[in-house]
């Protein structure tokens, strides 16, 4: 019999003490006092750990762990709270990928909760029937047409079925309390709402929640979401059927089909095709993870429909042909940038939803194919991009392939990622998203959550020249994603769990952290904090300013750079040989990450 009613969030707040999160009376940092709760990016100790974007979510996960919940129980509680406190990135209006290490079986498993195309969708989903041309990307995003069938809630249910001790109604209680009581608006949340204000004001329900009085809420003010609390209660009482076919689902479908335009709206968005039948028929997929052996560790990731596992894995296989630890740092980074350039070319040509296209996953991850791709790398000169994809089914030797197609535009912008571990040794790494910051911009009226715009992750028109494009829309199809929740085992035991938001840069962020830790010998905090660069088969490398200024010799290889202030916002765990867990988030990116452990090390 499953345990019940055991994990409600306690009346506590979080304060920083000795580098970890500890509990204190709520009066010391009450949300109503308008003070932002503190964050710490690094914690170390025993008994379980959580790293997430908000203090409230991290605390909810730690409370679950303290009450004997598993990593899966805690992950669902964290995800539900993030739907309240990180609403532009996460929530039941979106989908994601859940990777789990089971300490009993010593195996890594995954759940694919990616959104699906409505049954009424087809390859011309984003072609304007009035013009015969693709919709402008911005117009497609802020519309019902971009909304795919959400998968996050189904992921939560499936994760609890497979690995939880508690039921969904218990796991939702912390989020219900945070939504009711409210939480202090952070500078990051205010910034996101402010940036989305032109979109949010177009929809009456969105403006009512996030633009009170016509403006974004002030930093430190209390943001409550009684509609979301009511929605979570309804799901807790009636189960996920309330969403996948019930009253909540009907409201979701109606909001997509008939976006709730404000009386002074200046847009006429295309209506969506999501119907109640799409919600009734939605299913998550239990999948085997991708797996590659790199140096002395085993790297497990998410298989297609995500491109994360295949692209991280192929890049690592290519890089294993070079001794990065002994190469000069500038040359090692050159190899990293060239390897991802090649892997992204293959990603664009071959990776899509495997129910609709034949994804050669095993061949993309084979050592023999990596050897052929690696020989394309000039050790002293960057190859002009875009480079052509290879042929994993018939690799041949290292002869120049035909000219490359135009690189696919990468519209995926941001996501949410967190990691959890429990005292039993179970580990979760979970990336979930609405796609753009603020998703489609549509809050479901009376329900308190934003809908995704995941379908804009499809290519609107073919991108691969004369070759078939694996990422065009089709009824029931999952759009390709870059989400890369990853678990690394050493000697058969968990060593690292990691992932990041950041759209198509997720893959390179995860890859760079692994290289920093494995090849360059950086500590995990330093590996996460190190400046980042991302090469996605584009003419120039997108990089953070500190990467550009810190690696001037890369220009000699022919690399050019486009500056971007921040890339990613990683959440990671490392399991030490002393039995401790090192929980590491971002010290500065996205205003920092909240890391905590159940029993801090002294």
Give the model's pLDDT for residue 414.
65
Average pLDDT of 97-107? 98
* Coil, strand or helix at 424: coil
- Cβ–Cβ contacts within 10 Å for residue 396, how many? 9
Give the model's pLDDT for residue 410.
52
177-233 tens-digit pLDDT: 999 999 999 999 999 999 999 999 999 999 999 999 999 999 999 999 999 999 999
User: Residue 77's closest CA among 7, 25, 6?
Assistant: 7
148-161 tens-digit pLDDT: 999 999 999 999 99
List the catalytic residue out of 361, 415, 542, 593: 415
116 catalytic, yes or no?
no
Torsion angles phi and psi, residue 361, rounded to 5: -60, -50
User: Residue 561's closest CA among 586, 583, 544?
Assistant: 544
* Percent over 70 (pLDDT), the chain: 91
The pLDDT mean for the chain works out to: 92
Give the model's pLDDT for residue 38.
59
pTM of the model as a whole: 0.92
DSSP lists the bridge partners of residue 13 as 24
253-294 tens-digit pLDDT: 999 999 999 999 999 999 999 999 999 999 999 999 999 999
Average pLDDT of 392-406? 65
Torsion angles phi and psi, residue 22, rounded to 5: -130, 165
Average pLDDT of 328-332? 97
CA pair distance 472, 476, nearest whole angstrom: 12
Give the model's pLDDT for residue 539.
95
């Amino acid at each position: 019999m499953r345990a019940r009613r055991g994990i409600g969030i306690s009346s506590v707040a979080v304060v920083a003490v000795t580098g970890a999160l500890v509990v204190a009376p709520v009066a010391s940092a009450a949300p109503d006092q308008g003070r932002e709760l503190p964050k710490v990016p690094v914690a170390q100790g025993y008994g379980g750990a959580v790293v997430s974007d908000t203090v409230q979510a991290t605390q909810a996960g730690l409370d679950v762990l303290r009450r004997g919940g598993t990593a899966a129980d805690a992950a669902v509680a964290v995800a539900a709270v993030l739907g309240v406190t990180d609403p532009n990135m996460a929530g039941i209006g979106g989908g994601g990928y859940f990777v789990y290490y089971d300490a009993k079986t010593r195996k890594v498993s995954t759940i694919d909760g990616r959104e699906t195309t409505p049954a009424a969708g087809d390859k011309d989903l984003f072609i304007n029937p009035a013009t015969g041309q693709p919709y402008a990307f911005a117009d497609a995003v802020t519309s019902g047409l971009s909304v795919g069938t959400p998968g996050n809630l189904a992921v939560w249910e499936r994760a609890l079925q497979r690995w939880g001790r508690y039921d969904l109604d218990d796991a939702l209680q912390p989020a219900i309390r945070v939504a009711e009581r409210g939480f202090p608006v952070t500078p990051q949340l205010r910034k996101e709402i402010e940036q989305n204000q032109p979109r949010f004001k177009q929809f009456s329900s969105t403006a009512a929640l996030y633009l009170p009085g016509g403006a974004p809420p002030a930093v430190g003010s209390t943001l409550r979401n009684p509609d979301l609390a009511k929605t979570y209660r309804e799901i807790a009482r009636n189960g996920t059927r309330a969403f996948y076919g019930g009253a909540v689902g009907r409201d979701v479908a109606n909001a997509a089909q008939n976006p709730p335009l404000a009386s002074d709206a200046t847009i006429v968005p295309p209506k969506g095709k999501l119907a109640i039948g799409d919600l009734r028929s939605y299913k998550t997929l239990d999948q085997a993870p991708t797996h590659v052996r790199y140096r002395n560790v085993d790297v497990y990731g998410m298989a297609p429909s995500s491109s994360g596992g295949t692209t991280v894995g192929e890049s690592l296989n290519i890089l294993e042909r070079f001794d990065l630890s002994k190469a000069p740092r500038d040359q090692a980074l050159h190899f990293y940038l060239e390897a991802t350039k090649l892997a992204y070319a293959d990603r664009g040509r071959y990776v899509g939803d495997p129910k609709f296209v034949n994804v050669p996953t095993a061949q993309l991850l084979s050592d023999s194919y990596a050897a052929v791709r690696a020989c394309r790398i000039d050790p002293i000169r960057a190859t002009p991009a875009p480079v052509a994809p290879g042929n994993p089914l018939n690799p041949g030797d290292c002869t120049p392939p035909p000219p490359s197609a135009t690189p696919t535009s990468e519209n995926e912008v941001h996501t949410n990622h967190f990691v959890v571990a429990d005292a039993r040794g179970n580990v979760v790494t979970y990336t979930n998203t609405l796609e753009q910051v603020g998703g489609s911009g549509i809050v479901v009226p009376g329900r308190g959550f934003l809908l995704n715009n995941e379908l804009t992750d499809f290519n609107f028109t073919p991108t691969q020249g004369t070759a078939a494009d694996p990422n065009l829309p089709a009824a029931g199809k999952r759009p390709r994603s870059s989400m890369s929740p990853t678990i690394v085992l050493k000697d058969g035991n968990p060593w690292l769990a990691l992932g990041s938001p950041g759209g198509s840069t997720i893959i390179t962020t995860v890859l760079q952290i692994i290289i920093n830790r494995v090849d360059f010998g950086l500590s995990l905090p330093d590996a996460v904090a190190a400046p980042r660069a991302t090469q996605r088969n584009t003419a120039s490398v997108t990089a953070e300013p500190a990467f550009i200024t810190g690696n001037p010799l890369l220009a000699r290889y022919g690399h050019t750079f486009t500056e971007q202030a921040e890339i990613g916002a990683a959440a990671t765990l490392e399991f030490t040989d002393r039995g401790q867990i090192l929980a590491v988030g971002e010290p500065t990116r996205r205003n920092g990450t909240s890391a905590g452990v159940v029993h801090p090390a002294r």
